[in-house]
Each structure stands twice: as C-alpha cells, then as structure tokens.
Amino acid sequence: MKAPSFGFLGGRRRVIPAPGDMPSLEQSIQDSWLRLAVVSLLASGFLSLLVGASRMPWLAQFVTDTQFARRGLIVHVDLGVLVWFGAMFVVLYRRERSMAAASAAALPRPSLLVRHSHRAGWIGIALLLLGLVQAGSTPLLVNYVPVIESHGFLIGLALIYLAMLVHFVPLRGFDWGALGGLFVLLTGVSGLAAFLQLPRALDSKVYYEALMWGPGHALQFANVCFLLLWANRTGSAPIPRGVSLFARGFLLIPAIGILALCTVSPTDPAYVLSHTRLMQWGIFPAVLAVLLAISRKGLSPKGKLKESAQLRTLALRWSAVLIVVGFVFGALIEGNDLRIPAHYHACIGAVTLALMIEALILLGRGGSRTSGWVAKLYGFGQLVFSSGLFIGGTYGMQRKTYGMEQQVSNTGQTLGFGVMAAGGLLAFTAGALFAVTVFRKGKARRS
C-alpha cells in the first residue's frame, strides 16, 4: 500500500511505501502531522538565531529592540516545544495504535475532525508567526507556555492544542501512549479550570503566569510519557513489564494531583508550590527506573542492527545523557538565574533529539550518514549549551534578560556565555544538517 508523497520536503515527488497493512487513510493522517512537525521545528530553529544573537555579549549591543527579541523567543519556544512536540506525539501515538492493531480492519475509521485536524494546526502556526511582527503586541515571558498578548496569537495556541487533542480522546488502555494522552487532556482541563477562576483584572504578566502554570506542568509529564513510549520501541528489548507498570503507575500519582489542583485557585501559593513539588518528585523516579532497566540491553545492544535501529540506539544514548544531566542541574538550582534554563534545555533537548531522529527515520532518512551526525552534534551541542547556561547562572547571570539589558560583570559569566555559544553553534549545525537531510534528494526508505 502506498502512502502520500513528502514532495515539498524531499525535493521531488516520490511515493513511500507504508509499513505493514496500515490503511492509506491512517498513513495520510500521520504524514500530514509529520510535515507539520518538521516545518515547526525548522521555523523554530531559524528563530533561534535571533534568540542566540540577543544573548551573546558581542552581538547584543546591536539588538536594541528587546521587545522584538522577546517575541522571537516566544514564537521559537512555542513552535519548538508545543507544536513540534505535540505534532510528533500525534504521529507516535497513531503509529503505536496502528502497529498494535491485529489487522487493518481493527483500526477504527478516523473521524472527520481527526482527518482534517492538521489544517487547524497550520492555521495556528500562521497565527503564531503573525504575532512575531505585531509591533503593538506585548510579549509575556511566562514560564512553560510564553505568550504574546494578542487575540490572534492566543487563538493560534488554542487551535493547535485542540487539533492535537482530538487524536487522544477518547483515551484507550494504559500504555505509554494512553498515559501521555491523559496528560495532554489534563493540560486543557487545568488551563480551563484556571481560566474560570482567575480574575481578568490581574496584571497581564501575573494573569498569564498563573493561567499557564498548571498546563505547563502537565505538558512536562506528557513529554516524559512520549519519550518513554519512543524508548520502549527503540532499545533492542522493550522496557521490562514490571518496570513499565511501576513507572506508569507512579506517573498516575501526579496525574491525580494535577486534576485535584484544578479545584484550587491559581492565585493560591499552594497551587504554585504543589505543581512544583509534583514535577520535582513525580518525574525522575519513573524515568530513572526505565533508564536503568534498559541501560544494559537498550543502550548497548549486541549483534548487527538495521541502520534505523542503530540510529535510534545512538539517539537513545544521547537522550539518556541529556535527561540525567538535566536532573542534576535541576537539583542544583538556587534562585532565578540561568541554572533554571540549563536544567530545562538539557531535559527538553533529550526529547527533541529523540523526536528529530524519529522524524528522519519516518521520512526515510534512517540510512543517511548525516542522520548519525545530527544525533551526535545535537546531543553534544545541547550538553555543552546547557553547561554554559549553568556556568553563567552559577556566577549570577539572571534569566530573561536580552540584548542591551543584560550586563556581564565577571569572568565566570563570560566563560558561561562562551561555552553556551560553542554549544549553541554545534546544536544549530545539527539543526542545519537535519534540514539538509530532510530536503535531500534520493531514495527514501521507511524503517
């Protein structure tokens, strides 16, 4: 059975065979969301140049419009985390369901909303990009889900979320995909509960910080679930059943906690503290248990593997390194400095790397030599970049200062920015190689 072409991502039109007996309609949905995911990542990577320039001391003097730099950062984050991650989660979830079906006939026919959901996603992306050039709009660097205060931008976020959500409801089963879908659903439930309770008279920064606090934490748990869904398929052996049950059962505790906190006002200090504690203690035990269980066979497989399996294993190793380093950085956070984004970029980098490699494999680029370099350069680059942020934060460099606002006052901060620049260059090079590999002409093979 043949799948739709990836013509505009691969230079010339070609047909890629779909895996197994997957119906063409199901394959078409996955392909549409894969395109949306890749374009989002490429756009986010391009905007990272603007963000990086505004943080480098020798370039920051030329970035006088700090509001534009902030809008660029917001669109970069939302495209590179919310849209890219969410779209790939849709692909992974639907692929897992398709592969688990006993036959093509066992797959339920996708609804009209599901079949056309990607169109709403494209409209949402366009509205996010429009927010970048709305000079009168106010960028709000709130945690987890930064926003630009304009109706178009907020509608864009809502459209993208709803377009993704229709793929996960109704929830079925208790596997990693279903658990991830539960946290995607809790993201919206938490946001709706906060919206109904928050007084709109609050200052905009305070309002959106409180509004996005609960949903942002729910999204972190969704990230973990889909990373572990991918890891379960990546190693030479799946996660042992007992470990998997423990990890999924453990993650149900914060799911119940997030749901319970929907009854608490977001302006209550207990709301903020409780979400923080849930993330501090609710993620790392499950992730470490899984990593330890697959470390022997999953990270160091024996025997000859297919090219795509070798590539996934390489990505799994780097993802494991990044997420463990991110946990360590998180444990060492003190105050509101660059150690917070150091922790964040290492952990998010682990998910990004896994999804980048999976996207290349699904696009038929699993056998490309440059795909291996993407994994190595991005993994090492993100590790160095996060370390630079951590060094700068250790020496007192504060978060969320850009362009001419930031003041480098000591050697440690200068060293941190130098390390960060080197890591950022490596990670950006990996992103450029990713783009080249995606657009490269040649035979495409799915694995």
Specify whether the CB–CB gap between 337 and 396 falls below 8 A: yes
- In a domain? residue 10: no
The amino acid occupying position 390 is F
User: Do both 152 and 175 map to the same domain?
Assistant: no
**Does a structural domain hold residue 55?**
yes
Angle between helices 151-165 and 84-100 (to 10 degrees): 10
DSSP bridge partners of 149 = 138
Say if 6 falls within a structural domain. Answer: no
Amino acid at 162: L
Contact by Cβ (8 Å): 371, 437 = yes
Residues 184 and 105 in one domain: no
Q: What pLDDT does residue 400 have?
A: 56
| Helices assigned H by DSSP within 395-439 | 411-439
- For range 128-132, the mean pLDDT: 92
- Structural domains of the chain, count: 3
Element (H, E) at 382: helix 369-394
Last residue of a domain, one of 132, 151, 167: 167
> E-assigned strands of 342-433?
none
Same domain assignment for residues 28 and 89: yes
* Average pLDDT score over residue span 325-342: 87
Q: How many CB atoms lie within 10 A of CB 14?
A: 14
Residue 8, pLDDT above cutoff 60:
no
Domain that holds residue 187: 171-302
Q: What predicted TM-score, i.e. pTM, was given to this entire model?
A: 0.87
Cβ burial of 432 (10 Å; 0-12, 13-18, 19+) is middle
Last residue of a domain, one of 139, 167, 195: 167
Q: How confident is the model at residue 421 (pLDDT cuts 50, 70, 90)?
A: confident
The residues with which 365 forms a beta bridge, in sequence order, are 445
Same domain, 265 and 183: yes
Residue 243 is assigned to a structural domain of this protein: yes
- What per-residue confidence (pLDDT) applies to 12? 37
Least confident of 10-19, 190-199, 249-258, 358-367: 10-19
Contacts of 54 (CB under 8 A, 6+ apart): 60, 63, 66, 69, 72, 73, 402, 403
**26 belongs to a structural domain:** yes
Q: Taking residues 438-442, report their average pLDDT.
A: 70
Q: Of 142, 167, 192, which marks where a domain is finished?
A: 167
In a domain? residue 12: no
Same domain as 25, residue 137: yes
pLDDT of res. 258 = 98
The pLDDT confidence band at residue 308, using thresholds 50, 70 and 90, is confident
**Looking at the domain assignment, is residue 310 inside a domain?**
no
